[in-house]
Structure 1
Amino acid sequence: MTPSTVHRLLGHRQTLDKIRRIAYEIYEHNYTEERIVLAGIRGNGYPLAQMLAQNLLEISPLQPIVAQLSLDKDAPLESDITLDINPKEIEGCCIVLVDDVLNTGRTLAYSLHPFLDFHPLKKIQVAVLVDRGHKKFPVAPDFVGYTLSTTLQEHIDVRLEENDFGVYLK
């Protein structure tokens, strides 16, 4: 495969089906929770968290809170890692950290930082649309839409815009 070659792995309907399945799994593991927070990582994690919340509203009595977590993915130690929600709102909650692709686990590992100051949290879970399996950090997803073995040179591109919705391999 040449670097410019793009293969669609999941089309629009398949991607929506994966998101719906993740929502069902989140509900199955958290059906007794009073409150659940879907913390989407800025970029594709946040719109994915919004889509998961919409699905949860349709399939369950859960009323998820959606928050956006911001960090510089290239230099997480040189920038602030922030959450756009009042810490009091998430005390005692189950947190589901959401991102589009799990590569090495680095982004998700640094994304845990804002939650270390919140007490008490019930649990923190991880949901990703695509898991590539190149773990360098001890982060394992609890909920995965699609598991894919790739080379380190390949790139997964998740597109959540309405006119170009899907998962692509470059």
Structure 2
Amino acid sequence: MTTAEILSAEDIEHKIRRMAFQIYEANINESSVIISGIYPNGHKLAIKLKEAVEKVSNLTVTLCKLDIDKKNPIGTVKVDVSEDVYKNKSVILVDDVLNSGSTLIYAVSHFLKVPLQQFKTAVLVDRNHKKYPVKADYKGISLSTSINENVVVTFSPKMKVTLE
């Protein structure tokens, strides 16, 4: 099996910076936003997005970690902050790759239990293989792949996105 690099570390940094500007533009009238990353890689991307948003704006960004069993996502969503932290706030849910949409849809359902000011999603790679009606509001790259190919996002030691 061959591996092809889709995005280099520099490419990823550029995509994250662009998404940060989009998040700021969508929240220009807000004083704060919540960025919630799906653990593990979505949370790593959320940390980078938080740093980028803080560099390009005056928004106060609260980071939270969302943990979900990706093999059995029904009822297994845990967030490391209380509902009061994100209630009536603008929330951005982050994951590294949007595949079928199942992880995002179950994570979204968790946040919809309380009133929100605004809810958006952000992914580094949108694979266009959705079986659920979920979309990425902010995305680094859209990638048409075969269902047999695997997109791998690596954050360390060097950031990259590969197609295997």
Offset of residue 116 of structure 1: 2.5
2:98·2:127 contact (CA, 8 Å) conserved in 1?
Answer: yes
Structure 1 partner of 2:5: 8
Moved more, 65-74 or 29-38: 29-38
Offset of residue 34 of structure 1: 2.1
Matched, 1:149 2:144: yes
Offset of residue 114 of structure 1: 2.0
Matched, 1:131 2:126: yes
Structure 2 partner of 1:71: 68
**Runs (5+) with no aligned partner, structure 1:** none
> What RMSD, in angstroms, separates the aligned Cα atoms of the two structures?
1.0
1:35·1:64 contact (CA, 8 Å) conserved in 2?
Answer: yes
Offset of residue 117 of structure 1: 2.2
Q: 1:37 aligns with which of 34, 38, 42?
A: 34
Q: 1:121 aligns with which of 116, 126, 146?
A: 116
How many residues are treated as equivalent by the alignment? 164
Distance 2:142 2:103 in 1: 18
Distance 1:12 1:47 in 2: 14
Amino acid at match of 2:160: G
Offset of residue 89 of structure 1: 1.3
If the length of structure 2 is used for normalisation, what is the TM-score? 0.96
Q: 1:25 aligns with which of 8, 22, 27?
A: 22
1:83·1:114 contact (CA, 8 Å) conserved in 2?
Answer: no
Matched, 1:111 2:107: yes
Offset of residue 127 of structure 1: 0.4
2:105·2:134 contact (CA, 8 Å) conserved in 1?
Answer: yes
